[in-house]
Amino acid sequence: MRVLVTGGSGYVGSHAVRELVDSGHDVVLYDNLSTGNRALSQGFELIVGDISDRDRLAPILETVDAVMHFAASAYVGESVSNPRKYFHNNVESALSLLDAVLASNVRRFVFSSTCATYGLPETLPITESSPREPINPYGATKLFFEHVLSAYNVSHSLRYVALRYFNAAGAHANGMIGEIHDPETHLIPLALKAVLKTAPPLKVFGKDFDTPDGTCIRDYVHVSDLGSAHALALEYLANGGASISLNLGTGQGTSIKEVLDSFRRLTGLNVPHEFGPPRTGDPPALFANSAKAKEVLGWVARRDIDEILMSAWKWQQKLEAAKYRI
Ligand SMILES: NC(=O)c1ccc[n+]([C@@H]2O[C@H](COP(=O)([O-])OP(=O)(O)OC[C@H]3O[C@@H](n4cnc5c(N)ncnc54)[C@H](O)[C@@H]3O)[C@@H](O)[C@H]2O)c1
């Protein structure tokens, strides 16, 4: 299949396109490079454009069989300080993309959703039927778009898979691509930058949570495992699968302290860090039940936290050596 990948020059999208190509698909990347990086799409067909530009998308959509939609604004904190940007990009522009899709013959759509659609869970692990009550504008935009997909499925036969990622982490095994965000807000790259002294000591928000060691627990899932779920989702839709939303996590919660301890065990290096007050609305623990993704797609996360850390470490050192603009 030929697939239009919006946001293909971003972190998760660039890893997914490699999994798609490895599974025998052909891809065309479409990205406005607002947070993405051209270096991540090297060797792939990239069209620089905005998802709101229907005229630009129309001829491209004539050449593809499916759309994978990664393009979004994706900083939780920024969504609180600048919600307009988030509703405009993740809803208004994304609706425009869907208009372009509906005007074409494409009826297969894979969407990057998020565990942020659940908000503060009452019970763990989080299943797809857990209440979806986002606590920030970012999560609200992603939930809204899932509602749109569900409605368009009924009225326009647009079949979709919404993949609710937990914490994407790690880098590609080829050492050529990995996480580049500016500003960086994710724990693992910030920790590794602190080791390399390209960032200040890691700020750990809160040490008295109701967790075994007092630090926050999250479900870190390797970005290449997320990529393989996209290839499986495409196959599922090609085989006539019905629209569905699926959690993508390892099911394994890892505390911040455990991340730092694992890194020390693997490399002998300490992550310089200091504790700060907890952030408002930060849940003590979030981890997924991904049984449905296993049942429906045959997907499981194959890489553990050690592989996540070592691949991210290799990438972060390369990034520093190459002096990538980040
Ligand atoms: N990284 C995570 O842990 C995580 C977790 C859950 C969900 N997600 C979702 O996965 C997707 C990818 O996230 P990421 O971490 O790779 O972010 P990213 O910022 O690296 O990638 C997003 C890409 O979309 C592009 N883009 C943004 N708005 C655009 C527009 N209007 N038109 C064209 N291109 C546009 C950016 O330039 C960038 O290349 C997002 O939808 C995000 O919400 C990410």
Q: Rounded to the nearest whole angstrom, what is the distance from the C-alpha of residue 70 to the centroid of ligand 1? A: 5
Ligand 1 centroid, distance to 185 Cα (angstroms): 13
289: Cβ contacts below 8 Å, ≥ 6 apart: 125, 126, 127, 247, 249, 251
Active-site pick, 11, 30, 138, 236 = 138
* Cβ 118 vs Cβ 165: under 8 Å: no
pLDDT at residue 310, rounded to an integer:
98
9 CB within 6 A, ligand 1: yes
Name the DSSP class of 115: G
CA dihedral 195, 248, 237, 34 (to 10 degrees): -40
The residue contributing the CA closest to ligand 1 atom 7 is 114
This model's pTM is above 0.95: yes
Cα of 208 vs centre of ligand 1, distance in Å, is 32
pLDDT at 213: 97
Please report the pLDDT score of residue 322 as a whole number.
80
- Alpha carbon nearest to ligand 1 atom 11, residue: 70
Q: Please give the number of the atom of ligand 1 that sits closest to the Cα of 179.
A: 20
pLDDT of residue 279: 87
CA distance to 84, 87, 138, 141, per residue, from 73 (Å): 11, 9, 8, 10
User: Which pLDDT score, from 0 to 100, does residue 235 have?
Assistant: 98
Distance in Å, CA 276 to ligand 1 centroid: 28
- Write out residues in the chain with pLDDT < 50, as ranges: 325-326
Fold of 2-168+221-248: Rossmann fold (3.40.50)
- What torsion, rounded to 10 degrees, do the Cα atoms 284, 83, 118, 187 define? -40
Ligand 1 nearest-atom number relative to CA 50: 32
Indicate if 138 belongs to the active site.
yes
**Residue 160 CB less than 6 A away from ligand 1:** no
Residue 179 beta carbon below 6 angstroms from any ligand 1 atom: no
Residue 324 pLDDT: 55
Ligand 1 centre from 6 Cα, in Å?
9
Distances (CA, A) of 254 to 121, 157, 250, 265: 17, 39, 10, 15
- Of ligand 1's listed atoms, the one at least distance from the Cα of 52 is 31
- The domain segmentation of the chain, as residue ranges, is 2-168+221-248
pLDDT at 136: 94
Task: Convert 65-77 into a string of H (helix), E (strand) and C (coil).
Answer: CEEEECCCCCCHH
- Closest to 242 in 3D by CA, of 164, 186, 162: 162
Spatial contact of 207 and 216, defined as CB atoms under 8 Å apart:
no
**Are 144 and 95 within 8 A, CB to CB?**
no
* Confidence at residue 280, expressed as pLDDT on a 0 to 100 scale: 80
